[in-house]
Amino acid sequence: MEMRTEQEMMALILGIARADERIRAVCMNGSRTNPNAPRDRFQDYDIVYLVTEMNSFIGRPGWIDAFGERIILQKPDDNALFPPGPGDRYAYLMQFKDGNRIDLRLSPVSRAAEYAAEDKLTVVLLDKDGLLPALPAPTDEDYRVRLPDAPRFAGCCNEFWWVSTYVAKGLWRRETLYALDHLNLYVRPMLIRMLEWRVGIDTDGGVGIGKNAKYLERYLPADRWQALLDTYPRGTEAEIWQALRTMGRLFRETALEVAERLGFAYDGKEDRLVTAYLASVERLPRPETER
C-alpha cells in the first residue's frame, strides 16, 4: 500500500473535522511543528480535536475508521495497564497500514485556552468559532536542555554511584535481570542526564536531545558516543561488568567537566569508594549454586 502524503493526511484530518459539527477546532503539536526536528516518514501526526462533548465519539468507536485502515489501535485511557488520565481527554493512537500514524486526542472546547497554553509547539489548524488565542510561532524551547543547579548535579552523581552497587549485588547473586534492570532503568538515566548537561553547556542550552535522547549522537564527540554505545551489554555477566565499568569512567569524565564548567564540586571520594567497592564485589568468591 502506497503511503499517503502529508498533504493527503492533512486534508483528511481537516476534512473530517470540518464535516463534524461536534469538532470546533483542530490543533497540532509534536515533531511536525518543531522547526528543529528532522523530517521523515515516521513522524506522527499529533492532533487534538477540540469538541463540544466526547461521549458520542467514545460510544461509537467506529468513527475513527474514516482515517484509514489500521494495523493496530491503542486507547490508553481504556487500557487497564495505564494509570487513569485526567478524565476530560480521550486519546486514539492509530498506526495505519500505509505507514502513517496519528496520535489523536479529544479535548473539550471548554478547556481550549488552557490547552493552547500547554505546549509551545502547538499550532492551530482550524478554529470554527475563534476559540483559541493567537499563538506565537512554534518553538521547542521547553524541550531544550536545562542546566542543573548544584543540588541537582550532586543528586545525579549520588544516584549514579548508589544504584551501581545494586548492579554489582545482582551480578554476584547471579540475578541477571535484577542487575540489568538497575543498570538500564536507574544508572543509565543518570549517565544520559550528565551527558545532556555537557551538551547543554556546549550549546548554551540552545538544543534539545529529544525523547529517549534520540538526538544525543549529534552533539557528542565520536569517541564519547561510541563509549556510550559500549555500555549496552548482552546478558552475560562479563559484559554487564564491563558495561558498568565503562559507565563509571564515562560518567566520571563527563561529571568532572560539567562540575568545572559550572563551578560545582564533584564528590571524588564517593566515586573512589564506590568504584573500589564494585571491584571488590567482582572479585568476591561466590558459593557454587545451581543456575
Nearest to 176 by CA among 189, 186, 167: 167
Assess if residue 289 is contained within a domain: no
Mean pLDDT by 10 residues, the chain (291 residues): 93 97 94 85 94 94 96 89 73 96 94 81 91 83 87 98 98 96 97 95 85 87 94 93 97 98 97 98 80 44
Give me the pLDDT at residue 87, please.
65
Give me the pLDDT at residue 56, please.
94
Give me the pLDDT at residue 291, please.
44
Nearest to 254 by CA among 225, 211, 232, 213: 225
The Cβ of residue 89 has, within 10 Å, a number of other Cβ atoms equal to 15
For residues 181 and 229, state if they share a domain. Answer: yes
* Of the residues 82, 109, 138, the one at which a domain ends: 138
Euclidean distance between CA atoms 249 and 268, whole angstroms: 12
Give me the pLDDT at residue 134, please.
84
Q: Tell me which residue range forms the domain holding 48.
A: 6-138
For residues 132 and 149, state if they share a domain. Answer: no
Assess if residue 290 is contained within a domain: no
Which residue type occupies 268?
G
Euclidean distance between CA atoms 215 and 99, whole angstroms: 23
Give me the pLDDT at residue 290, please.
46
**pTM of the predicted protein model:** 0.82
Give me the pLDDT at residue 88, please.
79
Give me the pLDDT at residue 85, please.
61
For residues 15 and 131, state if they share a domain. Answer: yes
Those residues with Cβ within 8 angstroms of residue 248's Cβ, 6 or more apart along the chain or in another chain: 164, 271, 275, 278
Torsion-angle region of residue 108: left (phi > 0), alpha (psi -120 to 50) or beta? Answer: beta
Assess if residue 77 is contained within a domain: yes
Q: Domains in the chain: how many in total?
A: 2
Give me the pLDDT at residue 9, please.
96
* Of the residues 138, 163, 178, the one at which a domain ends: 138
- Spatial strand order in the sheet of 101-108: 70-74, 90-96, 101-108, 45-51, 23-29, 123-127
Q: What is the CATH number for 247?
A: 1.20.120.330
